[in-house]
Chains A and B, each alone.
Chain A
Amino acid sequence: MKPVSTITSPAVPLLRDNIDTDTIIPSREMRSTGRTGLADGLFAPWRYTDATTRTRNPAFVLNQRDAIGTRLLLAGKNFGCGSSREHAVWALAEFGIEAIIAPSFAPIFKGNCIRNGLLPIELPEEVVRSLPWEMVRIDLAAQTVSAGERSWRFEIDREAKEMLLNGLDAIDLTLANIKSTMGRWLKADRSMRPWIYLSGKNGARE
C-alpha cells in the first residue's frame, strides 16, 4: 500500500448527508470480481444523465472544469453509509481521490478507506462547509488541514495513522504481532469453547 503523508489539492464539495455506497458505485457497475475498472462507474447515478451511454451530467460537480484532477472530496454527514462493498473505496482511489473530509463516516466505509490508503478526515460540519474550492493542504503526521491562513486539527485513531503513514500491510503486521500469543489463546479457548472449532466434527461439505 502506498504511504500517505501530505496532500495538496483543490477540494470538490459534494455536501449532501448520507451519501451511500450504492451511489458511490452502484451494484450494476461492479462487473467483475476484481478491484479495478471501477473509476468509470464512480457516482454513475449523478455523474451521467444516462449511465448506459455515459452521457455526462454537466450540473454534477465532478464534471466541472475545476474538479479535474482533484484529489480531495468534501462530503456531508455519514458518508459511505449502506453496503459494505469495498468497491466504493477502490472506485474513489482509482479516480484519483486520496482524502475525503466529512463531518462523519459510516464505520465500514471508514475501515475500508484505511485499508486502501485513502485518508478519511472528520471535521465539524461548519469547517467542511467553509472549505469548498480552495486549495487545501493536508498533513497526516501533524493531523492538520489548512486552507489559506486557516488551519484545523483533526483526530485520527493512532493505529489508522500509522498504517496510512507507513503504507503498512495489516495482514503481515498482524501475523508478526500474534506469533507469540495466538497459540496460547487458541489452546485456552479450545478447552473453554470446543464447539467453535468445527474441523473434524462437521468439516467442509462436498
Chain B
Amino acid sequence: MPHTLFDKIWQAHHVGDTAAGAALIAIDRVFLHERTGAAALKRMAEMGREVLDPARVFAVMDHIVDTRPGRGDGTLMQGGEGFITETRAACRAAGITLFDVNDPNQGIVHVISPEQGIVLPGVTLVAPDSHTCTQGAFGALAWGIGSSEAEHAMATGTLRLAKPKTMRVTFDGQLAQGVTPKDMALTLIATHGAGGGAGHVVEFAGEAVRALDMEGRMTLCNMATEFSAMAGIIAPDTKTFEYLAGRPYAPDDFDDLYWQSLTSDEGATFDREIAINAGSIAPMVSWGTSPEQAIPVDGIVPQGPERAHEYIGLAAGSALAGTPIDAAFIGSCTNSRISDLRRAAAILRGRQIAPSIRKALVVPGSMAVKRQAEAEGLDKIFEAAGFEWRMSGCSLCFYAGGEGFPEGSRVISSTNRNFEGRQGPGIRTHIASPETVAASAIAGAIADPREFAREEAAS
C-alpha cells in the first residue's frame, strides 16, 4: 500500500499505544528557548524528573535576548534577565546543549536548528514554540507544543498523540517574478482560512515547491501554524541533503537508500487535497488582524469583521497600496535568512527609506546569517538606507515589554503574525515578504515590490 511521508515517519516512531487508544510516538529532538525553557526544566526538577537523553535536547536564547549591539544578559524587558539566567542554570544542571547569548552560533531556534544539522529528514522534532513547523521543510515531522508536553518529551522520550489527518497542498506552475514563499503561504491561508489546516499535517508539494531553495521552503512551512495545521512538511530531495551535509550535528553522508525513501509514495492518498496555481499568486499583504485577512498588495480591502477594520484603521473598499506606514521590520523565523536579507537589500541598494519612517530594523536570524551578510556588505546597504542593523534574535516580531515601536505605529513587517497588539499595544501590523517591506519602507507607504524591481531593470 502506498504511504505518505507522514505515515512513514509516524510508523517509524510508533513505540506503542495507550489504553485509551492514543499513540506513543518517539521524539528524536527537543529544542527549548529561554521564554518557556526555564519553566519546563524548573517544573521537571520540582517533580523530581530527569531529562532522559540530554544529548538530544538543545536550548537557545532567542525570544527575550536583546538585539542591540554590545548586548549581555540584560534586557529592556522587565524581568527579562531572569529568563536568561534561569534558563542557563537549568540547562547546565540538566546537561543540555545551550546556544547561549554570546555563542557564535546563537540565533532564532528555527534558523539555527537547520544551520547546525539538528533537524534531519525523517526525524520527530518538537519545541515549545508554535513555529517549530518551520523545520518540516527538511522532511522532518516538526511541531510546536506547550511546556507540559516538552516536559513529557524530555522525561519519557515520547509524546502521547492522537493520529492527525493528512492534507496535501500542491502548488502547480511557477511563481511570477517578485513573488515569494511568504506570498504562497498567505495566499493559502487567505483562501482556506486561519483554521483551514486544523487537525492535519500538511505536505507541501508541486512544481513551485520543488523549485524553492531550502530557505524558501522554511518560510512556507513556517506559516503552517497560522493555517492551524499541526505541522507542515516537504519531502527531502538533493537540495535538502546538500544543505545538511557537513553540518555539525548531521550524519556524515546521505547516500543511504533510507534517505531516498522519505517521500510520499506514488498513489498515496491524503485525507484532503488542495491545489493552488502558483502562477496566479501576487505579492500579499495583510490588511487586518488575522493572517487570513491578507490580499494582493494592489488589491482593495474587503469587508471583514468590524473589529478588524476598527483596530487596523482601514475601511472596506480602500486601497491597501499607498497606506502610509510609520515603521518597518525585517526579521523573525519566517524571513530572516541570508536569502531574505539579500532580496530586501537588492531593493534598498542606493535608496533610502522615507523620512516619515520613525523606526526601521533588520534583525538577522542567526549570528551566522549576520556574519554572512556583513561579508557581502549587506549591512552597509541597510544602514545607508536608514535601517538599524542588529544582533540576531526574535526581536520585535512580538512585544515583550521592553523595546517597542513608537506608540500607535503602523508597521510593515516580514513576520508571521498581525494579531492585535502582537508588536505592541495598539500597534498595527501588516505582514508581507522582505521585498515588500523594503519597497514599502522606501515609499513610506505600503508598496508593490514589483514596481521597484521594474525601475531597477529599467535604470
Which residues of the partner chain B approach A32 to less than 8 Å between Cβ atoms? 79, 82
| B 15-42 binary contact with A (CB < 8 Å = 1; else 0) | 1101111101010100000011011001
Question: Is there an interface contact between A204 and B20, defined as CB atoms closer than 8 Å?
Answer: no
* B398 touches A (CB below 8 Å): yes
Taken together as a complex, chains A and B put the C-alpha atoms of A193 and B122 apart, in Å, by: 10
Which residues of the partner chain A approach B20 to less than 8 Å between Cβ atoms? 158-159, 161-163
B41 to chain A, nearest CB (A): 9
In the complex, identify which listed stretch (A59-67, A92-100, A108-116) lies at the interface while the others stay far away.
A108-116
Identify B148's interface contact among A115, A162, A198, CB under 8 A. Answer: A115
Q: A158-B21, A171-B151 are in contact. Are A177 and B55 (CB under 8 A)?
A: no
B77 to chain A, nearest CB (A): 7
A160 to chain B, nearest CB (A): 8
Question: Is there an interface contact between B398 and A22, defined as CB atoms closer than 8 Å?
Answer: yes
Which residues 62-87 of B have a CB within 8 angstroms of A? 77-79, 82-83, 86-87
Question: Is there an interface contact between B24 and A178, defined as CB atoms closer than 8 Å?
Answer: yes
Question: Is there an interface contact between A181 and B97, defined as CB atoms closer than 8 Å?
Answer: no
Question: Count of B residues near A, CB < 8 Å?
Answer: 84
A192 to chain B, nearest CB (A): 8
Taken together as a complex, chains A and B put the C-alpha atoms of A78 and B158 apart, in Å, by: 27
* B420 touches A (CB below 8 Å): yes
Q: A34-B42, A78-B198, A159-B22 are in contact. Are A16 and B307 (CB under 8 A)?
A: yes
| A 81-101 binary contact with B (CB < 8 Å = 1; else 0) | 111111001000000000000
* B401 touches A (CB below 8 Å): yes
Which residues of the partner chain B approach A78 to less than 8 Å between Cβ atoms? 193-195, 198, 228
Question: Is there an interface contact between B158 and A178, defined as CB atoms closer than 8 Å?
Answer: yes
In the complex, identify which listed stretch (B139-147, B179-187, B372-380, B444-452) lies at the interface while the others stay far away.
B139-147
Question: Is there an interface contact between B18 and A159, defined as CB atoms closer than 8 Å?
Answer: yes
Which residues of the partner chain B approach A203 to less than 8 Å between Cβ atoms? 55, 97
Identify B53's interface contact among A18, A170, A199, CB under 8 A. Answer: A199
State the majority secondary structure of interface residues on B. Answer: loop
* B241 touches A (CB below 8 Å): no
Question: Is there an interface contact between A22 and B39, defined as CB atoms closer than 8 Å?
Answer: no
A131 to chain B, nearest CB (A): 20
Question: Is there an interface contact between B24 and A18, defined as CB atoms closer than 8 Å?
Answer: no
B272 to chain A, nearest CB (A): 15
Taken together as a complex, chains A and B put the C-alpha atoms of A161 and B20 apart, in Å, by: 9
Question: Is there an interface contact between B24 and A204, defined as CB atoms closer than 8 Å?
Answer: no
Taken together as a complex, chains A and B put the C-alpha atoms of A111 and B425 apart, in Å, by: 28
Which residues 35-81 of A have a CB within 8 angstroms of B? 35, 45, 51, 77-78, 81
* A202 touches B (CB below 8 Å): yes
A177 to chain B, nearest CB (A): 6
* A107 touches B (CB below 8 Å): yes
* B210 touches A (CB below 8 Å): no
* A150 touches B (CB below 8 Å): no
Taken together as a complex, chains A and B put the C-alpha atoms of A140 and B248 apart, in Å, by: 49
- Most chain B beta carbons < 10 A, residue from A33, A116, A186: A33
Taken together as a complex, chains A and B put the C-alpha atoms of A129 and B87 apart, in Å, by: 43
In the complex, identify which listed stretch (A5-13, A23-31, A141-149) lies at the interface while the others stay far away.
A23-31
Taken together as a complex, chains A and B put the C-alpha atoms of A111 and B148 apart, in Å, by: 9
Identify B401's interface contact among A27, A108, A157, CB under 8 A. Answer: A27
* B157 touches A (CB below 8 Å): yes
Q: A84-B146, A199-B55 are in contact. Are A204 and B42 (CB under 8 A)?
A: no
Which residues of the partner chain B approach A205 to less than 8 Å between Cβ atoms? 97-98
* A133 touches B (CB below 8 Å): no
Identify A115's interface contact among B18, B26, B149, CB under 8 A. Answer: B149
Taken together as a complex, chains A and B put the C-alpha atoms of A115 and B160 apart, in Å, by: 11
* A197 touches B (CB below 8 Å): yes
Question: Is there an interface contact between A84 and B55, defined as CB atoms closer than 8 Å?
Answer: no
* A139 touches B (CB below 8 Å): no
List the A residue with the shortest CB-CB distance to B231.
A107
Identify B18's interface contact among A26, A112, A173, A193, CB under 8 A. Answer: A173
Question: Is there an interface contact between A170 and B160, defined as CB atoms closer than 8 Å?
Answer: yes
* B322 touches A (CB below 8 Å): no
Question: Is there an interface contact between A104 and B195, defined as CB atoms closer than 8 Å?
Answer: yes
Taken together as a complex, chains A and B put the C-alpha atoms of A153 and B129 apart, in Å, by: 33
Taken together as a complex, chains A and B put the C-alpha atoms of A115 and B290 apart, in Å, by: 27
B257 to chain A, nearest CB (A): 12
Taken together as a complex, chains A and B put the C-alpha atoms of A178 and B23 apart, in Å, by: 11
Taken together as a complex, chains A and B put the C-alpha atoms of A56 and B130 apart, in Å, by: 31
Identify A45's interface contact among B128, B226, B420, CB under 8 A. Answer: B420
Question: Is there an interface contact between B155 and A23, defined as CB atoms closer than 8 Å?
Answer: no
List the A residue with the shortest CB-CB distance to B15.
A185
Q: A115-B148, A174-B158, A195-B251 are in contact. Are A35 and B36 (CB under 8 A)?
A: no
* B120 touches A (CB below 8 Å): yes
* B199 touches A (CB below 8 Å): yes
Q: A18-B292, A33-B42, A34-B42 are in contact. Are A28 and B148 (CB under 8 A)?
A: no
Q: 4 smallest A-B Cβ distances: which pairs?
A: A28-B401, A195-B251, A78-B195, A86-B146
12 contacting pairs across A/B (C-beta < 8 A)? A17-B305, A27-B401, A45-B420, A85-B36, A106-B198, A106-B228, A107-B230, A158-B20, A159-B162, A163-B20, A177-B16, A178-B16
Q: CB within 8 Å of B: which residues of A?
A: 16-18, 20, 22-23, 26-28, 30-35, 45, 51, 77-78, 81-86, 89, 104, 106-108, 111-112, 115-116, 157-163, 170-171, 173-175, 177-178, 181-182, 185-186, 189, 192-193, 195-200, 202-205
Q: CB within 8 Å of A: which residues of B?
A: 12, 15-16, 18-22, 24, 26, 28, 35-36, 38-39, 42-43, 47, 49, 53-56, 77-79, 82-83, 86-87, 95-98, 120, 122-123, 128-130, 144-149, 151-152, 155-158, 160, 162, 193-195, 198-199, 225-226, 228-230, 248-251, 258, 289-290, 292, 305, 307, 398-401, 417, 419-422, 425
